[in-house]
Amino acid sequence: MILAGLGLIALFAIWEERREREGRDTLLDRSLLRVVHLRAGLTTLMMQQLILLGIFFVLPVYLQVVLGLNAFDTGKRLFPMSVTMFVAAMAGPRLAAGLAPKRVAQAGLVALAGASVLLVGTIDVELHGTEFAIALAVFGVGAGLLLSQLGNVIMSSVDPAKTNEAGGLQGTAQNLGASLGTALIGAILIAALSSGLVDRVENNPAVPAAARQQISDAAQAGIPVVPVADVESAVRDAGLSPDEAKAVADDYGDAQLQALKRAIGAVAIFALLSLWFTRGLPGRAPPARQGGEPVSAAAP
């Protein structure tokens, strides 16, 4: 699907170039993409959404599927993130006035990476409430710092007559990042769960050979993320004894926790990789315009 999406983007670029050569109206002024500040803002925004939607995909799985919390209790556990995100978003513009948007965005990404590492250490069959809340609070700070900068950088990087097109590009970057975040982090979670379960049952003498083969076959299509109790009930219904069913369920539970850790670890890696995209963000106060034209060279 990702390759198909890239192919469509390439076809769109070819189509727009053809219309431009013919002197016809185009949907997008492609010269905007040569504005360094705008391009950096869009790509960093895309990565921000990838990270946020990735973590928002994983955490409810942990809280609701593994720990069995309902939607209300899940919201309460995520509340520290919302508070610190709001506070950091309000403080971000003042920080940028002294440190520059680039530095604030980079600090936000480092905070997201650090918070993800902290979250990995809290993933267990029981919730470590204090550590979990601290990790979420740090994550909220990182997200808030990014949110406070990128929209302003994007819109101030272009001439006022081009703000509508810049807004369209901003929305596209947000949606693309959100889609990639859910797809990539979800794929990592399912792949890690499937491979982890197969490895465990193949090395578990308490699991019958026939059941090992069935699980291996099922893993080819991806093992679903469900409560451990549901797995134990399903394998008992399939004919395994209570002890054999418990052995499979225990392996599934271990594989599930490790898969969640890997998925959150991937979020940390994406946050660090995103630092590369911040190179073109303004190195001082938001980009000024000269003679009505956007500044297209990255500030040092």
292: left (phi over 0), alpha (psi -120 to 50) or beta: left
Q: What is the pLDDT of residues 132-189, one digit of tens each?
A: 999 999 999 999 999 999 988 999 888 888 888 888 889 989 999 999 999 999 999 9
In this prediction, residue 211 has a pLDDT band, given cuts at 50, 70 and 90, of confident
Total number of domains in the chain: 2
CA atoms within 13 A on the CB side of 296: 9
- What is the full DSSP assignment across 40-54? HHHHHHHHHHHHHHH
pLDDT of residue 220: 82
Residue 103 placed within a domain = yes
166 and 204: one domain? no
Q: Is residue 131 very low, low, confident or very high in pLDDT (cuts 50, 70, 90)? A: very high
The boundaries of the domain holding residue 162 are 34-180+267-280
Where residue 69 falls (left for φ over 0; alpha for ψ -120 to 50; beta otherwise) is beta
Please, which pLDDT band fits residue 20 given cuts at 50, 70 and 90? Answer: low
The pLDDT of residue 213 is: 87
Q: What is the rounded distance in angstroms from the CA atom of residue 146 to the CA atom of residue 148? A: 5
The pTM assigned to this predicted structure is 0.85
Lowest-confidence region among 11-15, 174-178, 278-282? 11-15
Arithmetic mean of pLDDT over the chain: 86
In a domain, 175, yes or no: yes
Do 97 and 139 share a domain, yes or no? yes
The answer to whether residue 22 scores a pLDDT higher than 70 is no
Do 134 and 272 share a structural domain?
yes
Residues 165, 203 share a domain: no
pLDDT (tens digit per residue) in 61-120: 999 999 999 999 999 999 999 999 999 999 988 887 778 889 999 999 999 999 999 999
> Does 15 reside within a domain?
no
C-alpha–C-alpha distance, residues 262 and 246, integer Å: 24
For residue 215, being part of any structural domain is answered with yes
Average pLDDT value for residue range 17-23: 68
Same-domain check for residues 228 and 86: no
Same domain, yes or no: 61 and 204:
no
Give, in degrees to the nearest 5, the angle at Cα 96 between 48 and 279: 50
Same domain, 252 and 271: no
Indicate if 124 and 235 belong to the same structural domain: no
Please, what is the Cα angle at 245 between 244 and 251, to 5 degrees? 90
Q: What is the pLDDT of residue 294?
A: 41
Please give the residue that has the higher pLDDT: either 291 or 227. Answer: 227
Instruction: Indicate the pLDDT class of residue 14, thresholds 50, 70 and 90.
Output: confident
Residue 53 lies in a domain: yes
- Shared domain for 150 and 218, answered yes or no, is no
Whether residues 273 and 126 share a domain: the answer is: yes
Q: Are residues 161 and 70 part of one domain?
A: yes
Share of the chain above pLDDT 70, in %: 87
Are both 91 and 45 inside the same structural domain? yes
What CATH number does residue 63 fall under? 1.20.1250.20
